[in-house]
Amino acid sequence: MSLFRAVRTPLSTSSLLCQGLRSVTGFGAGDAADHKVVPVEEARRFAEECLKSVGAKETHASQMAELLVSADSRGHYSHGMNRLEMYVRDIQQGSTRVDAEPELERSTSSTALVNGNQCLGATVGQFSMDLAIQKAKESGVGWVAAHGSNHYGIAGWYALRACDQGLMGLSFTNTSPLQVPTRGRECVLGTNPIALAAPGNNGDSFVLDMATSTTAIGKVELCKRKDSKIPNGWGVAENGQETNDPNQVLGKGGLMPLGGTEVSGGYKGYGLAMMVEVFCGILSGSHYGTGIRKWIGQHDVPANLGQCFIAVDPNCFAPGFADRMQALMSYCRDMEPAEGAENVMVAGDPERHHLKEVERLGGVSYHDNLVSAMAKLSAELSVPAMQPKA
C-alpha cells in the first residue's frame, strides 16, 4: 500500500530511487524466469474455489477473489493471492463466519453503522461502501463505519468503487498492532491505511492508498531474509529507539510512524495512525489499539476490526471538479524532475502502469514461490491448481 509502490514486473520503468526501494521490497520482483503469468480469470477462479471449499458462500468468495486479484493486478502483491491462505485459515478456525451477512444497525440520511458479523472483509467492505455511495448520491455525503469486520485487503479498492461512479471515495481500516507511538516502546496501533480516490477526466484518477507507518512489515521481513540493514525511519527496537537492524524490529520492536523520528515529523504519522483509529475502532465500536488480535498466530480469535467508508459527490460543490483534478495531476506529471530522478508521478500512477503490464502479459506475473505455495494449498483443499499461461 504505497503511492510510489514500484512497478514490480521485470519490465518496470520506475525510477532509480524507486529501484533502490524495490530492491528492498521485492514482492513479485525478480527475473521473468522466476515468474509465471496467470490469466486474471484463472487467478480469480482459483481464489474463489479455495474460499468456497472451506464453506464461503459463492457471493462472498467471489467478492474476496475479485479483491485479491485486483490487488495483484495493481501491483500490490502483498495484499493479493499472497494473503489467500490467511483468509482460508480464518474461515477454518471460525474467526471468519461463512453463515452470516453484514447488517445495517442504524442510519441517517448520510451516515450508517454496519455490523459486519465477522464476515469476510471484502464482503463487509463492499456492503458498507455501497451504502456510502448510495447515501452520497442522495444527500451529498455517505459516512459509514463498520465493526465486526475482518482484514479487507487494499483500502484503495473501496475508494475506487466510489470513484468509478464519479464520486470521491475514502476508506480506512484499523489493523493488528505493529506501529509504536512516538516516544513509546510498544506496538499500539496498526499500519492503519488511508485511501482516497478522486476522478479526473477520461478514466484518469488520483488514488492515494498508503499505510500511516513509514513502511510495511513485509519490507522489514525481506531485509531480514537478505541479511541487510533497514533505512532510518523504518523501525524501533524493544527499547523504543530507532534501529537499522530488522531483527530488532521484528523481535520485540515495531514499525515507526510516517516521518520516522520526532525531529523528522514522526509524531505526525503517529497522529495520522490515531486519526484512522478514531474513524475505525472508536467510531464503530469494534476492537481498537492493543485490543486487536496479534498479526501472527491468532486465527482462532475473531478480529472484530473497525473500518470506515466515505463517499462524497463532487457535484454538490463547485462545477468542474474533474477538470481541476486533471489539471493538477497533469501539472505534477509534466513538471521538470529533480536532478537524477525520473518523471514525477501522482498517487495511482504506479498501479496504472502495472495494470497495463498485466494487460500486455495477458495475466498477473507471480513469483514461483507464490505459485508453489498456491499449489500446496490447492492440494490441501482439493481445488484444481492455478494454471499459468502455457
Touching its own copies, residues 254-313 (CB under 8 A): 258-265, 267-272, 274-275, 277-278, 281-285, 288-290, 312-313
User: With respect to its own copies, which residue has the nearer C-beta, 316 or 385?
Assistant: 316
Q: What binding mask, one character per residue, do residues 86-125 give for its own copies by CB under 8 A, x or -?
A: --------------------xxxxxx-x------------
Give which of 167, 177, 197, 186 is closest to 70, Cα–Cα.
197
Q: Which residues pair with 309 in a beta bridge?
A: 144, 171
| 303 neighbors 149 (Cβ within 8 angstroms) | yes
Q: Does 229 bind its own copies (CB under 8 A)?
A: no
Q: Does 31 bind its own copies (CB under 8 A)?
A: no
CA geometry: angle 243, 83, 32, nearest 5 deg: 85
| Helices 368-381 + 40-53 axis angle, to 10 | 40
Strands 235-236 and 35-38: unpaired
User: With respect to its own copies, which residue has the nearer C-beta, 3 or 371?
Assistant: 3
Read off the amino acid at residue 39: P
| Helices 16-25 + 217-225 axis angle, to 10 | 80
Quick one: which of 12, 15, 96, 173 contacts its own copies (CB under 8 A)?
15
Quick one: which of 150, 214, 248, 307 contacts its own copies (CB under 8 A)?
214
Quick one: which of 10, 39, 184, 302 contacts its own copies (CB under 8 A)?
184
Q: Does 201 bind its own copies (CB under 8 A)?
A: no
Write down the least CB distance from residue 125 to its own copies, Å: 17
| 131 neighbors 112 (Cβ within 8 angstroms) | yes
| 307 neighbors 284 (Cβ within 8 angstroms) | yes
User: With respect to its own copies, which residue has the nearer C-beta, 297 or 319?
Assistant: 319
Q: Near its own copies by CB under 8 A, which window of 42-50, 52-60, 207-215, 364-372?
A: 207-215
Q: Does 335 bind its own copies (CB under 8 A)?
A: yes
